[in-house]
Structure 1
């Protein structure tokens, strides 16, 4: 490989169809790159996240990853976790344990496992164990302001809106239906004030589909500044992990397994599956990935 180049892949996550998921840039052999160089590359790719593969410093880990948005570094994010694992395995890496991976990142060690069975119509893929999360309900005196910011009277306050931080902090809010979720046209400035007041960088809103629908829930993730940037994220692993944990904490799980659709409002077709493993106390968040670009990255 020529000097000043590193291996590079761009993958689409939570889909098996190119351009229908959430894109991720993966830079290999990044041990010699400084944090400033990583940030410059992430800013240039202009994707929601760019990851950098490094040798692990923990002997239990298969690899180490650093995750950068265009604005800063994140200790954890979901679609980068799955996309990085996909890129690494496709490059020929053999896991220390067949069918399992251990990722070292800012929140510590994150387990991944191969998903062989069909999970709610999804192809065989990989899933990560959701990291532990801190949950803090939104104060009730802010409910009116939240409705105003979302320009909606469809919020289901029986499931308390809550800030959930698993390394990527989201304010998780339930609305009455998938249709209500897709209809949202929030006031961006007012929404930013709400989410930032509880220490999060975005809002993850979800609504149930009718029986027999395309998924259990429709999900949208609206970013409101900070490390997340602004705009709507196509498909979001950390937010779906936050939602899964909140459903469990609020005792309103839809079952031992469920699916979420995300990205519909952006013309994407992201599919996320969730599985609760109460025997081991883990919640698995999974989906397919597909490589779109494969080559080298030229350094200055």
Structure 2
């Protein structure tokens, strides 16, 4: 028997965020066992807490979707840190937790009840080629002229991000998954009117192996979008993004730039605790 947690991330109210399943004390589990359990949970991500191999890390994390292992993902990082802290662990440094994962070391800082992770460097950035942009527009079933800008924003899952003129335009997107082709992770973002409780609306469409799905609230995508929009002057140095609206969620992702580093913050709710036998 080992401890198990399910944490709702990027929300203050359960169950209106994005859930992650967290398996504690997973050192003796094989990759095959981890992958099988992740398929069984059928959540967007399931994580496994292990002893760190790097001296600066507080724990090591492995992150699985139902079809593959990821080097990094945002909401699993915050949810796993919350589960690790709630289990009574004490980090090496006051106010910070250092996570070791496939993308390297990721710092998670605590600001009251809210947790923030430092956005990892992009694996791929830069503009989207015109042919790819036309293919993206067709897959999203929008006119090419509706795309204000587009950028590769890959920090692990393969994100490419598309900026539309408004949040309403983002909410109206009805993608044609059959036309996504080689795109495995597509994000769409657009600004809300001034005075709204969120500056931007975000949606995320990702290949889960056997099918495409819309992700409720996505830390890695929001991190990458902020790494694009803030330096480009398309977003302020601090803002809040809404996500999950069309799925009946109330996701809120906090983005902030300090000293050139993008931080991604979110509230977390420990929704389920218990034990499992794997």
Structure 2: distance between partners of 1:84 and 1:225: 21
Deviation, structure 1 residue 158: 4.2
Distance 2:273 2:99 in 1: 22
Return the alpha-carbon distance in structure 2 between the equivalents of residues 52 and 293 of structure 1. Answer: 16
Partner of 2:91, secondary structure, is coil
Q: Is residue 146 of structure 1 aligned with residue 136 of structure 2?
A: yes
Q: What are the within-5 Å matches in structure 2 for residues 184-195 of structure 1?
A: 184-190=173-179, 192-193=180-181
Q: CA deviation at 1:225?
A: 4.5
1:182 matched residue in structure 2: 171
Asked whether the equivalents of residues 25 and 45 of structure 1 are also in contact (C-alpha less than 8 Å), the reply is yes
- In structure 1, what is the Cα distance between the partners aligned to 2:270 and 2:233? 36
**TM-score w.r.t. length of structure 1:** 0.89
The gaps in structure 2 that reach 5 residues or longer are: none
Structure 1 contact 56–104 (Cα < 8 Å) conserved = yes
The size of the alignment, in residue pairs, is 277
User: Residue 31 of structure 2 corresponds to which residue in structure 1?
Assistant: 35
Structure 1 position 297 matched with structure 2 position 276: yes
CA shift for structure 1 position 106: 0.1
1:94: which partner in 2? 90
Q: In structure 2, do the counterparts of structure 1 residues 113 and 106 end up closer, same or farther at CA, with 3 Å as the change threshold? A: same
Aligned pairs (5 A) from 1:44-63: 44-63=40-59
- State the partner residue of 1:125: 114
* Unaligned stretches of 5+ residues in structure 1: 117-123
Find out whether 1:245 has 2:235 as its counterpart: no
**Cα gap change, 1:24/1:235 in structure 2, threshold over 3 Å: closer, same or farther?**
same
Task: Determine if contact 2:18/2:251 at 8 Å carries over to the other structure.
Answer: yes
Q: Is the 8 A contact 1:54 1:65 kept in 2?
A: yes
Cα deviation, residue 75, structure 1? 0.3
Instruction: Return the alpha-carbon distance in structure 1 between the equivalents of residues 204 and 273 of structure 2.
Output: 28
> Among 239, 263, 269, which residue is 2:244 paired with?
263
The superposition leaves residues 69-104 of structure 1 with CA deviations (integer Å, 9 ceiling, x where unpaired) of: 000100000000000000011111111111101000
Alpha carbons 2:230, 2:236 under 8 Å: kept: no
Deviating beyond 6 angstroms after TM superposition, the runs of 4 or more aligned structure 1 residues are none
Distance in 2, Cα, partners of 1:165 & 1:254 = 19
Secondary structure at the aligned position of 2:198 is classed as coil
Deviations, residues 242-263 of structure 1 (Å, cap 9, x unaligned): 10111145x1242120010000
CA RMSD of the aligned region, Å? Answer: 1.5
Please say if residues 13 and 21 of structure 1, whose CA atoms lie closer than 8 Å, have aligned partners that are also in contact: yes
Q: How far does residue 201 in structure 1 lie from its aligned partner after superposition? A: 1.6
